Amino acid sequence: KAYKYVFMSVPSGYEPKASGCFPLNYFALSAPATTPENIDFKLTKVDQSSYRVLFFGDMHLAARNDDVKQFEKFAADVNANGKKGKTYAITLGDMTWDIYWDAFNFPDYIKQMNKSFSNLIVYNTIGNHDNNYQTTSNFAAKNDFILSIAPNYYSFNIGDVHYVVLDDIDCSAYDGTTSRNYKKSISTDQLAWLAKDLSYVPKSTPLIITMHAQVFKP
């Protein structure tokens, strides 16, 4: 209840209901912490015996330097190839660019994605530029992304593979300026959730984990 939303781990062989290309795998909560709430997730059974997953990295859509036009050309290629079989996509963070949010913010990102892609579910990973630098807490920095796009960490299954999206951008030291003094770390609440999530996954299951910043740095 502290996070004010609940998410599910999408089971293998199913797709969640989507709003355009954004999966409805989480919903906002509104009642006080002491009040139970009931959320119904809608799933559709699909054949995932053969599929492809595309990874979109650092798109930095900001409506500058013809980035949107370039992105639309890329999206046209994705749509053309998507006709050849079941296709999913996962972004790897920095879909937007915090310093240019006045011109292109999360509502613009949603509109652009839904305009650009057809018959494609896109799971999103938060990046450092998807955090609000004009805040002074880690929770507040992520709030815009969580309210608009996706949880900052969650999991889902496609076919025989278990996918985990993590958030390794710690904005606890943000001071409200463009210094963006973030650390690369995974919070203890995520690790506790991850341990519980993986306890339901057979150890023989292939596992793909996405996060924006590198885990190890040379």
Asked whether the predicted pLDDT for residue 200 surpasses 90, the reply is: yes
Q: Backbone phi, then psi, for 122, in 5-degree steps?
A: -120, 120
Overall pTM > 0.85: yes
- Predicted confidence at residue 92, as pLDDT, reads 98
- Predicted confidence at residue 3, as pLDDT, reads 86
pLDDT tens readout for residues 109-160: 999 999 999 889 999 999 999 999 999 999 999 999 999 999 999 999 999 9
pLDDT tens readout for residues 30-84: 999 899 999 999 999 999 999 999 999 999 999 999 999 999 999 999 998 777 7
d(CA 2, CA 33): 8
pLDDT tens readout for residues 35-44: 999 999 999 9
C-alpha triplet 147, 115, 80: angle, nearest 5°: 125
The whole-number average pLDDT for the span 169-181 is 95
C-alpha triplet 214, 130, 94: angle, nearest 5°: 50
Q: Do 100 and 94 form a contact (C-beta atoms < 8 A)?
A: no
Measured over the CA atoms of residue 21, residue 83, residue 55 and residue 45, the dihedral's sign is positive
C-alpha triplet 171, 27, 89: angle, nearest 5°: 70
